Structure 1
Amino acid sequence: MPADRVSAHPTERIRPFDPPPELMEGQETAPLRRMSYPDGHVGWLVTSHQLARQMLTDPRFSARSEFKRAPVHRPGIDPFFGVPAMPGWLVDMDPPQHTRLRQQLAGQFTARRMKEIRPQIDRIVDELLSQMERSGPGTDLVEAFARPLPSQVICELLGVPLRDRAEFQHNSGVLFNLQSTAAEAAAAMDQLYAAVRKIAEGRSPNEAPGLLTALAQDGTLDTEEIAGVGVLLLTAGHDSTMGALSLSAFALMSHPDELARLLADPSMVDNAVEELLRYLSNFHFGVPRTPLEDLEFAGQQLRAGDSVTVSLSAANRDPRWFQDEPDRLDLGRRTTGHLAFGYGIHQCLGQNLVRMEMRAALPALFRRFPALAPAVPAEDIPLSTDMSVYGVRRLPVTW
């Protein structure tokens, strides 16, 4: 595919676990190519692993929301793109604002900290699986397991009262839904900020105060920043992990030989999780960046203000980095360098939490239900193609 050919971001998947085939076209000959955005702007699409890493660490490319455009039609993003970032919303900021906020949070999401909360995660996993077992075959794995697990974990970590969690789940879903209107998304965000603000101000007491209360007591961040950080962690920690869990379970059931490898050798769980993250890459519409100046990149002339979408799912299938059939799920693969969590200073803050939840959840699920299988034909399982985070919408299972 020539680099100067202009096309929209592809969205139609042919197979449930693979990116749209058009996304991979020209990956070797035109890894940086022109792309049209829904508002008519002509920007760029990055599909190679090397260029993705290079761009995501280049300070000439900004993550600021003032410059962002959605790569696919998404009215719900209108209130938040093209304007300055909301307080605490560090994913839409550049240094030094981004650095200051991230430094306040990084210590709460280290691999060591996640090991400390592993017993808490195991307890929630066991409770959900026991409830699922009592419900019997035909249970929807998403509603019984993949949705409530990350919701309970992130809410307990942040100190969100149990009574508020259903509302958080609903509003988070509105924000990630591509079909939400601008008004619906703005209202959902307002409700999330208001609820988290109450927790930070001590007006919504919880029997087990968490990170939000600790941040308020520390006094380094103001209330609006704590509210923004809390909303960001709640929404990302819920929807992205739900998508990863549901899609990983579906993928393992669809690849019985790989599942058998995992069950036969539990020590490979860490690598298996990394391969599932690489293979599925459920943040399927990429990461936006914008050059702050006119520059040359990968042999192309980019202008200040051009929108660029870095496709993580394409980069994670790049045969020049993952040389041994990257379109194949291989739980023993060397997965070093995958970009499921992005790269550079904006790499996902909660990545260690996602990993720990998957390491706890997937082996426990298939140990409890070794004959777990979809209760309907695979082609009848609805996928969340209308969400910014890809996953499974419903997954009835039998055992």
Structure 2
Amino acid sequence: MLVAINEYGQSISLLDHYDVRTLRELRNTQNFFCPICKKEVQLKIGQKKVSHFSHYQLAECTIDHEAETETHLTGKQQLFTWLKQQYEITKLEPYLKSIAQRPDILIEKNDKAIAIEFQCSRLSDSSFQKRTLSYLDSQITPIWMINASHLKQVSTYQFTMSPFIWQFLTKFNHQYPTIIYYSPQKQSFYQLSSIIPFSPTLSFGQLNETKLNDISLDVLLYRKSHTAFQHFQYLWIQQKVQFRLHFSIYPQKNQRRLLLALYQNRMSPSLIPAEAGLPCPTMYWIHTSSCIWQLWIIIDSLLNLKIGEIVGFKTVYRAFCNRVRTKDIIVRTLPLVTSNSHVSFAVMEYLQMLCKVNILEKVSKTDFRKRSNFTIPVNDSQSFEVDRKVINLLTRKTN
């Protein structure tokens, strides 16, 4: 940590530009204590590394905090300096007694408090959610940034994302949700936006890099950045081909009920409808592969409808929720997506996508009429062609 209390009750911040000589004098003449647990801490002085306070090896602090790596200390120092230039009230490592939390940085903007957390190490889901909800319950807006070493880019528009990374997805007002990475080494932000997951681990999106001193916090949080699906639609189709192959040859244990449902409807796993696996803007709520959760909607609510029959959104969503309860579909907990978004949006968007590819037509705000049958390939060689045609049609209707 960069802030401690001396024996006189004074707050000592190591960002107050102490030189090495002064720090050594302080260490020799004063004792320092953790502002939270009040236990004695040691002042570690670095010439190449960041000077900081740390608990003694066997000491246990009462607050859950991240181990102070060099990367974390450097990043916190850089972000604090950057924010202090923008906001008059900027506090480093303040202890918020009412919620027993110590954010890396706290700023006050228009009488509103904003907590900045720069996370470098892994954090359990429960700890992340507990800390986030404690901020929100206290009317403090949490902004989590993650070390850029966790960014895993496969290609220009493809990224692998673990459940740990998905926790950082943040939605500000009506903007598209983003994940903010920060690199202390490059002093750059990497903002991942327009995120559309294909599978539990593979997502498509747009990555923007911006130097720390070339952007303000407001612009970083609220700038509009959206990439049209057409930029990566061919890659999406390729993933669909791979899904068909692996789903038919290497099905997972938790997909047995789905395989049985396909068998009962006389469908081969490799010949699922081309309309399963369509990109929906808010399906970031759903951990399960896009092909699978949409296939469940088709089987449960749409496949056996006759042409001209009407189905309501409530009926479809109720069946979707039943699949969530039986764990055939897994949804994500996203504590930082707090405005104008819900998993039900993804279900409605999928029905709207089916309208664009001429399977359904909307007859009221929440009712849909079946217009045509689903496109089911007759053999493996035809599957790529029908997938391509459906995605191309969707892209034309969306633009």
User: How would you bin the TM-score normalised by the shorter chain?
Assistant: under 0.3
- Structure number having the greater helix percentage: 1
Per the normalisation by structure 1, the TM-score is 0.27
TM-score, normalised by the number of residues in structure 2 = 0.27
Instruction: Say which structure, 1 or 2, has more relative contact order (CA 8 Å, 6+ apart).
Output: 1
Q: Which of 1 and 2 has greater Rg?
A: 2
